[in-house]
Amino acid sequence: MRKRPLGQNFLIDPEITQKIIELADIKPGDSVVEIGPGKGVLTQRLLSITPSLTVIELDPKLCREIKNRFCKDHPDIKIMEGDAAKFDYSSLKPGFKVVSNLPYYAATPIMKKLIHFGSRIQNMTLMMQKEVVDRLTAQPGNREYSSLSVFVQYHCQVERLLEIPNTAFSPRPQIDSSLFSLKPLARPKVQVEDPQLFFKIVNAAFFHKRKMLKNNLKLWKKHFIDQQGQTRLAGIDLSRRGETLSMSDFANMANYLYSPNE
Ligand code: SAM
């Protein structure tokens, strides 16, 4: 059986590594979670700032290496062997920060899992494939604006921090990466009565990106209103495409369609 690749592209550029640590703004005494420590390049620098570090690594061999390298001098380090996309982050004391050069293949599910536990997290400094970060930071009207942009920006303040060329890694990946920060919001960006309905509409609106909303939102057709030659829903012209709608537009639609008894 072919061994599953674990997105093991290790950082080899000391200047970029240092920059990442500076941008993560880790203070002495912070509790930090590092996902995928790999060979420990970021781990070592994190431990030079704060002793309270939990690492989550899927590869048993790398876990052993991290243990052998760091446990003796850093007795507070916790090493969790397992999948960061399945980890129960509520088992950790709230208020921690997350730092990770995420494995490409699992970056989005791991990020979504972290957002799910966002109320326990101060901030996350994450590295992902550049194209995905383009989507996370995209605004309405941008080509990259998608349901993932709305999901992440609904829950978090997103900031792009640094571009990282593929030459910073070994083995060298085919793609470039970007570093960004996510700060979970105490309250979602917009107020919606029913978040499930809100995301159902958002996902439907982007389902066929090039189609008009009137085609993507057929499920709610009975609520469409024809006004002066335009088809509208919650006042929004449905000849528009999902990618032009702001978060507030989506919230208005969801609240308009919300019916507590349905
Ligand atoms: N932090 C190291 C660095 O920057 O050099 C390694 C980063 S490498 C891109 C991703 C790391 O995540 C690898 O060590 C890999 O084994 C680990 N990994 C892959 N899938 C994982 C998962 N689902 N949960 C936790 N760690 C994972």
Answer positive or negative: Cα dihedral of 82, 85, 88, 92.
Answer: positive
Strands 32-35, 96-101: pairing is parallel
Atom of ligand 1 at shortest distance to CA of 84?
24
pLDDT at 178 over 90: yes
First CA to last CA distance, the chain? 49
Q: What is the pLDDT of residue 227?
A: 87
201 sits in the region (left: phi over 0; alpha: psi -120 to 50; else beta) called: alpha
Beta bridge partners of 26: none
Mean pLDDT for 190-196 is: 97
Q: How far is the CA of 36 from the centre of ligand 1 (A)?
A: 3
Q: How far is the CA of 110 from the centre of ligand 1 (A)?
A: 11
Distance CA 168, CA 81 (A): 26
User: Which pLDDT band, with edges at 50, 70 and 90, does 31 fall under?
Assistant: very high
Atom of ligand 1 at shortest distance to CA of 110?
23
pLDDT at 3 over 70: no
Of 94, 93, 65, which Cα lies nearest the Cα of 79? 65
Contact 183, 156 (CB under 8 A): yes
With a 6 Å cutoff on the Cβ, whether 42 touches ligand 1 is yes
Q: How far is the CA of 62 from the centre of ligand 1 (A)?
A: 9
With a 6 Å cutoff on the Cβ, whether 127 touches ligand 1 is no
Q: What is the pLDDT of residue 1?
A: 41
Answer positive or negative: Cα dihedral of 106, 57, 86, 35.
Answer: negative
Mean pLDDT for 74-80 is: 97
Of 35, 20, 254, 26, which Cα lies nearest the Cα of 154? 254
Beta bridge partners of 251: none
User: Which pLDDT band, with edges at 50, 70 and 90, does 261 fall under?
Assistant: low
Question: What is the pTM (predicted TM-score) of this model?
Answer: 0.95
Tokens of 109: 């599910």
Q: How far is the CA of 40 from the centre of ligand 1 (A)?
A: 10
Q: What is the pLDDT of residue 228?
A: 85
- Domains belonging to the chain, first-starting first, are 10-184 (3.40.50.150), 195-257 (1.10.8.100)
Mean pLDDT for 47-64 is: 98
Q: What is the pLDDT of residue 259?
A: 84
**pLDDT tens per residue across span 87-142:** 999 999 999 999 999 999 999 999 999 999 999 999 999 999 999 999 999 999 99
With a 6 Å cutoff on the Cβ, whether 114 touches ligand 1 is no
> What string of H, E and C letters represents the secondary structure of 140-163?
CCCCCCCHHHHHHHHHEEEEEEEE
Distance CA 51, CA 46 (A): 8
